[in-house]
Amino acid sequence: MTFLHPWAIVLGVAAAAVPVLVHWLTSPRPVRMPLSTIRFVREAVHERRSWRRLRDIILLCLRTLAILLIALAVARPQWGQPRQVSDLQQGDAVRVVLLDVSQSMAARAGPVEQIERARTVAAEYLRYRPGLVADLITAAVRPQAVFDVPSTNFDALRDELARARVRPERLEVNRALDQAARLLTPAGPNDHRRRELVLVSDFQRSSWGGANFGPLPADVRIQFESVAPRQPLANLAILRVEGRATDLSGSTQLAVDVGNYSPNDRKVTVELSAGDLRWRLSGTAPAQRVTTLTEEIGSRQIGWQPGEARLSGVDDALPADNVFPFVLHGRPAPKYALLTRQLGGRRPTSSLFLECVLAPTGGKGRSKGAANAEPAVARLDPRALDRAVVSASHLILLDHPGKLSPETIQLLADLLRRGRPIVYVASEPIDATNLKRLCESAGSGLQLPVEFLPPPVGQSRRDLVLASVRRGSAPFKVFGDNLTSLTGRLRFAGGISSRRLDTGLDSDILATYNDGTAALVLASSDAGQLAVLNADLAASDLPKTAAFVPMMSELIGQMLERGHRGGALACGDPLVAQLPVEAGSAAGLHVRGPALNPHERVDGFGQLVDEALGARWRWTSPGPPGVYRVERDGQTVLAAALTIPAEESDPDPLRSKELTDRLAIGRTAAYRGAADEGQSRDDFWKWFAMACVVCVVGEISMLLAFRT
Partner 1 sequence: MTSRAISRFLDLLALSALEHMRFTTRRRAEGVFMGYHQSRSLGGAGEFVDFREYTGGEDLRRLDWKVFARTGKAFMRLHEEETNLACTLAIDASGSMRFGAASRRDARGSKLEYVQYLTTAMSQVIARSQDHVGLAVLNGSLGHWLPPGATASHVERLQEIVATLDPQPSLQMAHALRELFERSRRRGVLLLASDFLMDDLDDVFGVLRLFRHRGWDVVVLHIVHPNEERLPEGVAYRFDGLENEGRVNCSPADIRTLYEQRFGAHLAMVRQLALAGGCDYRRVSTSVPYLQTLRGFLVDRAG
Contacts with partner 1, residue ranges (CB under 8 A) = 27-45, 47-48, 52, 708
CA 222 to chain centre: 23
Q: H or E stretch including 656? A: helix 656-657
Find all residues with CB under 8 Å of 242, minimum gap 6, and list them.
Answer: 254, 255, 256, 326, 565, 568
Q: In the bound complex, what is the minimum distance in angstroms from residue 12's beta carbon to partner 1?
A: 31
Q: In the bound complex, what is the minimum distance in angstroms from residue 65's beta carbon to partner 1?
A: 25
The smaller minimum CB distance to partner 1, of residues 41 and 343, is found at 41
The smaller minimum CB distance to partner 1, of residues 28 and 666, is found at 28
Q: In the bound complex, what is the minimum distance in angstroms from residue 47's beta carbon to partner 1?
A: 6
Distance, CA of 41 to CA of 652 (rounded, Å)? 76
Q: H or E stretch including 643? A: strand 635-643
List the one residue out of 465, 446, 579, 427 whose CA is nearest residue 522. 446
Q: In the bound complex, what is the minimum distance in angstroms from residue 19's beta carbon to partner 1?
A: 19
Q: Residue 529 corresponds to which amino acid?
A: Q
Distance, CA of 581 to CA of 597 (rounded, Å)? 26
The smaller minimum CB distance to partner 1, of residues 49 and 662, is found at 49
**What's the first-to-final CA gap in the chain, in angstroms?**
42
Q: In the bound complex, what is the minimum distance in angstroms from residue 88's beta carbon to partner 1?
A: 49
The smaller minimum CB distance to partner 1, of residues 56 and 451, is found at 56
Distance, CA of 510 to CA of 559 (rounded, Å)? 14
List the one residue out of 343, 443, 336 whose CA is nearest residue 397. 336
Q: Residue 707 corresponds to which amino acid?
A: R
The smaller minimum CB distance to partner 1, of residues 32 and 686, is found at 32
Q: In the bound complex, what is the minimum distance in angstroms from residue 704's beta carbon to partner 1?
A: 16
Please tell me whether residue 692 adopts helix, strand or coil conformation. Answer: helix
Q: In the bound complex, what is the minimum distance in angstroms from residue 128's beta carbon to partner 1?
A: 60
List the one residue out of 354, 415, 428, 426 whose CA is nearest residue 389. 415
Distance, CA of 475 to CA of 473 (rounded, Å)? 6
The smaller minimum CB distance to partner 1, of residues 33 and 546, is found at 33
The smaller minimum CB distance to partner 1, of residues 43 and 92, is found at 43
Q: Tally the residues of the chain.
A: 708
The smaller minimum CB distance to partner 1, of residues 49 and 347, is found at 49
The smaller minimum CB distance to partner 1, of residues 49 and 280, is found at 49
Cis before 653 (ω within 30):
no
Q: In the bound complex, what is the minimum distance in angstroms from residue 36's beta carbon to partner 1?
A: 4
Are the beta carbons of 606 and 591 closer than 8 angstroms? Answer: yes
The smaller minimum CB distance to partner 1, of residues 27 and 503, is found at 27
Q: In the bound complex, what is the minimum distance in angstroms from residue 41's beta carbon to partner 1?
A: 5
The smaller minimum CB distance to partner 1, of residues 28 and 456, is found at 28
Distance, CA of 613 to CA of 414 (rounded, Å)? 8
DSSP state of 383: G
Please tell me whether residue 645 adopts helix, strand or coil conformation. Answer: coil
* DSSP strand pairing (112-113 vs 108-109): antiparallel
Q: Residue 449 corresponds to which amino acid?
A: P
Q: In the bound complex, what is the minimum distance in angstroms from residue 50's beta carbon to partner 1?
A: 12
List the one residue out of 474, 492, 511 whose CA is nearest residue 350. 492
Q: In the bound complex, what is the minimum distance in angstroms from residue 694's beta carbon to partner 1?
A: 27
Q: In the bound complex, what is the minimum distance in angstroms from residue 124's beta carbon to partner 1?
A: 58
The smaller minimum CB distance to partner 1, of residues 33 and 371, is found at 33
Are the beta carbons of 675 and 612 closer than 8 angstroms? Answer: no
List the one residue out of 519, 532, 530, 517 whose CA is nearest residue 469. 519
Please tell me whether residue 545 adopts helix, strand or coil conformation. Answer: coil
Distance, CA of 92 to CA of 99 (rounded, Å)? 22
